[in-house]
Amino acid sequence: MQFKRQYIANEARSVSLRGLAIANQSALAFGCAWAVLPALFFAGADETGQLVLTCIVAGMMGAGAFTLASVPMAAKIFCSLILAGSAIGIFREHFKAGFYISLLMTAYFVVLMRAVWIYYSHLKKHVLENYEAEQLVRVDTLTRLPNRIGFHEDARHALERYARTGESFTIMYLDLDGFKLVNDRYGHRAGDQLLIEFGRRLEKAVRGVDCVARMSGDEFAAVAANVNTPAEAAAVADRILVECRKPIFVDDVELKAAVSIGIVIVTPDALDVETLIRRADAALYRAKQTNRGGFCFFSPSQDVSANERKALKDAMVLALGDHQFALNFQPLLDLQTNRIAAFEALVRWNHPSRGMISPENFIPVAEESGMIHAIGNWVLQEACHTAASWPDDVRIAINVSAVQFRDPMLVEAVRGALTTSGLAAGRLEIELTETAFLNECPATHANIAGLRAMGIKLLLDDFGTGYASLGILQNVKCDALKIDRSFISKAGRDEVSTVIVASLVKMAQALGIKVIAEGVESETQLFVLRNLGCDYAQGYYISRPADRSVCEGLLARHNSATSVAMTG
């Protein structure tokens, strides 16, 4: 079975008019010559001669129609003339008519056949137009590869063949890493050219019996026929990676976009194409998490994970409208004044049947599905409205993911939340992690500049755990950094960790940056941090995250007292 189909665009092709004229004239001459044979000799021949003449004439009509198929008019002329000569011979033989009467009957017959020919031509044109329309439904207009519909058909044929003959195959799901960055930096035209070139290279990397398709956006898929083992599948994936890692130039600009691949080999329990595609997508998700720019094979545990992600995606669509999301707030203690200086807003999802769902589980799914923008805007609006009722010296901190920072509308969303809530921009703090800077996205830097221009403070979260933290401090003006809890948990007990925290505090002070210690869980840690000159502390020893009413009561009690005894 050929899994690969050729989808060729209908293009206008010009030919020589002189060549067409010569072909038609030649068809007329040879058609007349061959028409004489049955017209003159069929009636007078015996049965054997008539049989021989019939075979010769039929053979010439078939050969002429096949040879002249690329010049339809010439084929019609050639075959029509021989058919007319045959009709004359038949009339003369069966009706014993004279030559001229036979000629008149033949003319009537030719007119009748012409009408039948015209009807057939229109029918053929209608069938071809419908076929071409059906093919266009199965073709991606940009890359000219099969689209999702075409890929489903090819995969279904492969699955049916596997059920009949046991011939195995492999499905690969591919995603371009960094495609959004290309679109943001160089525009959609460059992005389109990248997709077209990637499609060409993908076709080049696989075999002629394989099928490749563009599923949607920057996602592609391939059906590799007769690939039975992980080693064979890995060899195909390696060829794709090698081919796609080569530089791609658009208008003399080198575009960089690696590819991640999820692989699933068909097994007897794969009953439908959707199951295989879901498994390949789960393997792709795993590859992007653990081996970006490489490939990963599907395992049953990933299927459970994929089902879980799909269920979360579906539930998330309803969660916002059903008011299933809520905010908790965790205070930041000013270590110099012993007062609550700010609260960090933390989103919580209370599912009606599953109970509380951890942000560690649903935030990555929200980022992957694009729901993070709607959820993030809701958090922004809700947090600003809540903080507007607090004392003017208490700030609110909101986490914004790297995906949100690539959204060109982020600044407008923040401005809208401040306007509707009446919260002063100086009381809003945006927390970001270094993952926002892993790809040099112009939208990210534009959003940072826009937020700073509004007077909003920027906090660098999880400082010290990534390789780019110091580089970010050099290139981006941050108002505060949060030392990761992995260092704070050992402060006062481990000499190395204490020295690291002290060094980070001194460095921040030298740069005029405030320091927030995360994960404070004991009085010893709080004592060490205060002595090291740390500005703020946050953690369970001070207070666990709580709802609005609890935090407002905590704020009213604590900011009027001097004690720090606030265990949660």
CA distance 74 to 436: 67
| pLDDT number for residue 6 | 39
- Same domain as 491, residue 471: yes
In a domain, 429, yes or no: yes
Domain membership of residue 71 (yes or no) is yes
**Structural domain includes residue 306:** no
Same domain for 530 and 453?
yes
| Torsion, CA 370, CA 371, CA 372, CA 378, rounded to 10 | 150
Residue 108 has pLDDT above 70, yes or no: no
pLDDT in tens, 51-81: 777 788 777 777 777 777 767 777 777 777 7
Looking at the structure, do residues 49 and 184 belong to the same domain, yes or no?
Answer: no
Tell me, yes or no, whether 337 and 477 share the same domain: yes
Give the residue from 225, 212, 236, 231 showing the smallest Cα distance to 167: 225
Residue 4, classed as helix, strand or coil, is coil
Identify whether residues 174 and 267 lie together within a single domain.
yes
**Full-model pTM:** 0.56
Instruction: Name the residue among 418, 412, 347, 343 with its Cα closest to residue 388.
Output: 418
Task: For residue 208, give the DSSP letter.
Answer: T
Indicate the SS3 state at residue 278.
Answer: helix
CATH number for the domain that contains residue 342? 3.20.20.450
Shared domain check, 514 and 449: yes
Checking if the pLDDT of 408 tops 80, the result is yes
User: Side chain identity at 146, as an amino acid letter?
Assistant: P
**pLDDT top residue among 411 and 112:** 411
- Determine the Cα–Cα distance for residues 533 and 36; give it in Å rounded to an integer: 113
* Strand, helix or coil for residue 423: coil
Instruction: Name the DSSP letter for residue 546.
Output: B
Q: What is the pLDDT of residue 380?
A: 94
Domain-embedded: residue 4: no
The tally of CA atoms less than 13 A away on the side-chain side of residue 287 is: 26
Mean pLDDT of the chain: 79
Mind listing the pLDDT tens digit for each residue in 360-375?
Answer: 888 888 887 788 889 9
Of 137, 172, 192, the domain-final residue: 137
> Are 166 and 42 in a shared domain?
no
CA–chain centroid gap for 509, Å, is 44
Q: Distance between CA 19 and CA 16 in Å, rounded?
A: 5
Q: How many domains does the chain have?
A: 3
- Contact (Cβ atoms closer than 8 angstroms) between residue 535 and residue 479: no
How many H helices and E strands in the chain?
20, 16
Can you give the CATH number for the domain in which 236 is found?
A: 3.30.70.270
Grade residue 304 by pLDDT with cuts at 50, 70 and 90.
Answer: low
Question: Could you tell me the two tokens for 528?
Answer: 């060490």
Query: What's the CA gap between 17 and 184, in Å, rounded?
Result: 49
The answer to whether residues 334 and 517 touch, using CB atoms and an 8 Å cutoff, is no
- The CB-side HSE value for 84 (13 A sphere, CA atoms) comes to 21
* Mean pLDDT computed over 15-20: 57
Nearest CA-CA partner of 54 in 85, 25, 17, 95: 85
Cα–Cα distance, 519 to 527 (Å, whole number) = 14
Q: Are 435 and 397 in a shared domain?
A: yes
In a domain, 3, yes or no: no
In a domain, 303, yes or no: no
Instruction: Identify the domain boundary among 258, 278, 298.
Output: 298
Q: 544: part of which helix (H) or strand (E)?
A: none
Residues 426, 507, single domain; the answer is yes
The pLDDT tens digits for 199-214 are 999 988 888 788 899 9
| DSSP states along 93-105 | HHH---HHHHHHH
497 and 351 co-located in one domain? yes
**pLDDT the model gives residue 562:** 45
User: β-strand 480-483 against 457-463: which pairing, if any?
Assistant: parallel
Element (H, E) at 401: none
**Same domain? 118 vs 160:** no
Is 307 inside a domain boundary? no
Q: Report d(CA 437, CA 406) in Å as an integer.
A: 10
- Binned at pLDDT 50, 70 and 90, residue 7 comes out as very low
Give the C-alpha separation, 119 to 60, whole Å.
24
pLDDT digit string, tens, across residues 325-371: 999 999 999 998 888 999 999 999 998 888 888 888 888 888 877 88
Cα(170)–Cα(419) distance, integer angstroms: 54
| Domain range enclosing 461 | 330-558
517 within some domain: yes
User: For residue 146, what is the DSSP state?
Assistant: B
Section 416-432 average pLDDT: 93
Distance CA 286, CA 282 (A): 6
Look up tokens 């069966």; give the residue.
Answer: 94
Q: 195 with 130, same domain?
A: no
DSSP assignment string, 509-534: HHHT-EEEE----SHHHHHHHHHHT-
At residue 25, does pLDDT exceed 70? yes
Cβ atoms within 10 Å of 297's Cβ, excluding its own: 20
Answer with the one of 84, 107, 137 that is the final residue of a domain. 137
